[in-house]
Amino acid sequence: MRYLLRKLGFYLVALWAALTVNFFVPRLMPGDPVEILLSKLGQHGPVSPEMRASTEALLGTSSGEPLWSQYLDYLGRLAHGDLGTSVVFFPASVSSIIEQTLPWTIGLVGLATVISFLVGVGLGTLAGWKRGSWLDSLIPVTTMFQSVPYFWLALILLFTLGSVWPVFPLNGGYDVYNVTVGWNGPFLGSVLYYGALPALTIVLSSVGGWMLGMRNMMVSTLSEDYMLTAEAKGLRPGRIMRGYAARNAILPSVSGFAISLGFVVAGSIVTEAVFSYPGIGSALLQSVGGNDYALMQGIFLVITLSVLGANLLVDLLYSVIDPRTRARA
């Protein structure tokens, strides 16, 4: 319990610091979201001073209000779950935009991240256990994909598998013309079909890192004295590999996986931009281009909560996998 309370206290302080940075950084950017929104409204008629004042109050950026007062108002709104109104998608609320885009990103990036982790760790375990096998020759190939710039790999796959050999669609999240949105077979099949190529890009660009890291940790673990003791006991090779070598070698990968899971909700901005995928990364890109403070803050808040939550869960899981961490804490 003492270990848990110490961790919770640390993450609460980290959350407050992240919220503070989340408030101030967008306001240091050039441009004024009020002017952007008023320019849109001005296309339909003149903008009165009263309309300007109400727009500033709506966006929480009143020009006559000091920054510290805006900061307190921002924290008060967050406490009530009010993330504000989006400028780019006006008059939609930030919460509704996140609700619409977040499931697409979690479904694509989350599933691709889990697949790449499982495949990479599994192949890395076998490569470390059977050094000199064909799996060792596979590592340079996978790391080559990781070294290729992310957007370039996405463009290559889009060109080859979407244009030269039209196996997959070029863009979008589903077939907007022939399927109806809902929990039905045609829609889910269309989502999987349209998401296959972006997911393949994510898996190819990340599986090499998991595989190489796990392989190196396996090689290091196999030289430990307790591995020799396990062999001297006459245990089966499979049990030694899974219960002794892989269990200890996977610990650094678990930490890295937690960070990866936390950033899943941030989406892969490059992938979503290349494939025109309707995820939260695309919404973040549009909010930055439109100086949409509220949407940026809302998306960064979700990212912050997910990263802190994932790291807290892994800290707790780490204490179960390796009890020595509790003793050191």
Cα 315 to its chain centre, rounded Å, is: 18
Using alpha carbons, list the distances in angstroms from residue 227 to 69, 116, 132, 322.
61, 28, 19, 17
Task: State what percent of residues in the chain have pLDDT above 90.
Answer: 1
- For residue 191, the model assigns a pLDDT of 87
**Helix 185-222 × helix 150-159 angle, to 10°:** 130
Q: Is the pLDDT of residue 114 over 60?
A: yes
pLDDT digits (tens, 9 = 90+) for 240-252: 888 888 888 887 8
CA distance 185 to 73: 45
Among 11-15, 80-84, 176-180, the range of highest mean pLDDT: 11-15
Q: Is the pLDDT of residue 3 over 80?
A: no
- The one-character DSSP state at 114 is H
pLDDT digits (tens, 9 = 90+) for 125-134: 888 888 878 8
Sign of CA dihedral 111, 116, 117, 122: positive
Contacts of residue 13, Cβ cutoff 8 Å, sequence gap at least 6: none
pLDDT digits (tens, 9 = 90+) for 225-272: 888 888 888 888 888 888 888 888 887 887 788 777 766 766 577 788
59 confidence band (pLDDT: 50, 70, 90): low
Q: Is the pLDDT of residue 170 over 70?
A: yes
Which domains are delineated in the chain?
Answer: 33-82 (no CATH), 102-326 (1.10.3720.10)
CA distance 38 to 264: 34
